[in-house]
Structure 1
């Protein structure tokens, strides 16, 4: 009943709404004061966009006094549900009614956050709203007023979501002006899933990778007998597999150590596995890394043991320090970031001995390690913030143009600096893929603008 009333109100608002513009950008984030890859990449993108836009990160919850990561210059942070006073109120006792129960972050959402989010979204009168996880994107799809351009950003991959969440995504994401994936593989998965379900695609279905954050510290000399990995201590990161693989590495190279940086719910289980295998002097759970750049600059190899990923930014962070990467070829991400034998090694997913052999291959061949490290630096440069940020500027400008009925790349009310220097139409990104790969044409059909080079 309430949703129908809002839809009727939106039809009235649409008739008198001013032309859309892209000056104001608001990015919905679950908890801006936490730590993790999504938060780092959102801060990274927000800082770039703040050069030419009014940018605010809207954090659903606040459970830490200050942000763990530095807020970029020109970016504001707003908190909807401030939980620091520890007096959460009556509505916080009830679970969310808007976020699917199978959403990975469901436990963060309550009836209070539902109301805060809807109230905030409905209050918007102009600009662009970017969501960064399924729960936020689904709420934005249902409640964003007609004046607002909405973008659903996928920080994982469609296949990694639970069935109920995937069903809701395919049902509702078509309402967004754009859905943006991190990888070409996930872009194709989204396209197939919309087609199979016979659901409308969003106006633009695009792939834009994350940019490499600029970290402290210099390039690694690759002299330390240290292998590192960075990430949350969760099942999906596969550290249980890595510890088992390291037992074989330690038998061949007892002078090398593995350092795992991150916190999370599996810490006790992982420590028990380390102790059980007699690796307490070879494998160390270091806790969260306050300076990821310094950690990577002191390493000679980075290992990713994940069972699944979106686009693991930590691979690019390691490469930006000239550190070669050994990674499971998990879905999705690593294959599109690592060229096997050039800047790293890809290993068949969840294979313990294959992972151990790949690590040992780089330990035993210093020349190969250095060659791959040098190539890794060149790979990371392709994901520089200025390169990826420009792709986002182009994408957002195109969305405003589409809403105004102008051709992509046409003149806008707010045009980012340098936007007029681009040719209209398709603009290749740094990896050979155009900004917008699949669009819905005016007659309702879909068209693919480009394929991978």
Structure 2
């Protein structure tokens, strides 16, 4: 089967999810990626996956470029990564009379800065051959919110990293990671740390990720405001997060919104206990509350601090959570996820 994936390849979790999938699909299918982001294929992509870059930044010209490429490539199926990307890929796919799948990476409540996102989603739910969301909770939300829902599917992103070594019970480092932007809610960390780490001066909280200089300065102001300069550190972007997790004591996710937070799967794979806000989609399908982590009511910073402090002061509980950290990881395995995608391709192409 000849399959084209279209999206803004510019670094981040969506790209990683795409590359993980297409690298597996390329074992048995012809795979092409059309990008509006990076002009060159990223290093994580297999060499036998064809890669094209749309050069224009004008949406009408991009539609025309995409149409010409699809005519040339003649795919059986086009998969668009995120609903908004369909503003370029949707019409060309229809004109070429190809099968069309939307692979949504944001949850229903994330508007991605666009007020008309639900209109775009409604149109694509009506006219696409399948509309894939990442979590069971989001699947239920889409079913409630949209009239046209028979094409709605739910497939997790795949995750296949294997754990190495044992949990480092002696570690006194908390870790968080992600893009430094408001939606990730890292500005709550200094306040949470001022409570959780107050009686534990030998513990540190390290945050990995990049952002604008202005936002980083805002975060540092928060660190100074709560007097945690010696315990909270913004460490910048890293290519070695797995290794860092392996030497850490626990992972904390303070995000306000996520699609499917792959970073929690990374933390689980390294046997880390996790504390996360129980936000709309993701964490409650990855964690078992009180079994291998804690889910805290969103925005309740004091409660999050209390859970972190409890884990700091109870290493036996941390060890117990670590021992059960790999529960449910098979749901996200390569074999499980690839099989679901292949079944979907067969369903819409027969």
Is 1:136 matched up with 2:85? yes
Q: 2:141 aligns with which of 189, 193, 203?
A: 189
Change (3 A) 1:120 1:219: farther
Residue 61 of structure 1 corresponds to: 37
Distance in 2 (CA, whole Å) between partners of 1:326 and 1:135 is 31
Match of 1:221 among 164, 168, 171: 168
SS across alignment from 2:27: coil
Q: Is the contact between residue 138 and residue 169 of structure 1 (CA under 8 Å) also seen in structure 2? A: no
User: Residue 445 of structure 1 aligns with which residue?
Assistant: none
**Superposition TM-score, scaled by structure 1 size:** 0.71
CA distance in 2, matches of 1:174, 1:36: 29
Among candidates 83, 92, 103, match of residue 153 of structure 1: 103
Partner of residue 373 from structure 1, selected from 319, 322, 325: 322
CA separation in 1, counterparts of 2:22 and 2:223? Answer: 39
Alignment of 1:16-415 (within 5 A): 23-31=1-9, 34-62=10-38, 67=42, 70-72=44-46, 74-81=48-55, 92=57, 96=59, 112-144=61-93, 145-161=95-111, 162-195=114-147, 200-201=148-149, 204-214=151-161, 218-265=165-212, 266-401=215-350
Q: CA deviation at 1:147?
A: 3.8
CA contact (8 A) 1:217 1:294 kept: no
Give the Cα separation in 2 of the matches to 1:387 and 1:330. 25
Checking the alignment, whether the CA contact within 8 Å between 1:212 and 1:320 is kept in structure 2 is: no
In 2: Cα distance, 1:189 partner to 1:163 partner: 18
Question: In the TM superposition, what is the alpha-carbon distance from 1:123 to its structure 2 partner?
Answer: 4.1
**Kindly tell me: are residues 296 and 77 of structure 1, through their superposed partners in 2, closer, same or farther at Cα, counting changes over 3 Å?**
farther
TM normalised by structure 2 equals 0.91
Specify every segment of 5 or more residues in structure 1 that has no aligned partner in the other structure, as ranges: 1-22, 82-90, 97-110, 402-453
Give the secondary-structure state (helix, strand or coil) at the position aligned to 2:219: helix
Counting matched residue pairs gives 345
Say if 1:227 and 1:396 are closer, same or farther in 2 by CA, change over 3 A: same
Q: For residues 387 and 73 of structure 1, what CA distance do their matches in structure 2 show?
A: 24
Quote the Cα distance in structure 2 between the aligned partners of 1:362 and 1:268: 30
Distance 1:267 1:116, change over 3 A: farther
Residues 221-230 or 118-127, more deviating: 118-127
CA distance in 2, matches of 1:40, 1:76: 17
Query: Greater Rg, structure 1 or structure 2?
Result: 1
Quote the Cα distance in structure 1 between the aligned partners of 2:312 and 2:298.
Answer: 21
Q: In the superposition, relative to structure 1, how do residues 316 and 290 fare at CA in structure 2: closer, same or farther (>3 Å)?
A: same
Give 1:146 deviation, angstroms.
4.9
Deviation at 1:213, TM superposition (A): 4.2
Looking at structure 2, the residues matched to 124 and 147 of structure 1 have their Cα atoms a distance apart, in angstroms, of: 13
What is the alpha-carbon root mean square deviation over aligned residues?
2.1
CA contact (8 A) 1:320 1:381 kept: no
Deviation at 1:44, TM superposition (A): 0.7
Which residue is 1:6 aligned to? none
Question: After the TM superposition, which residues 422-437 of structure 1 pair with which residues of structure 2 at under 5 Å, given as runs?
Answer: none
Q: CA deviation at 1:277?
A: 2.2
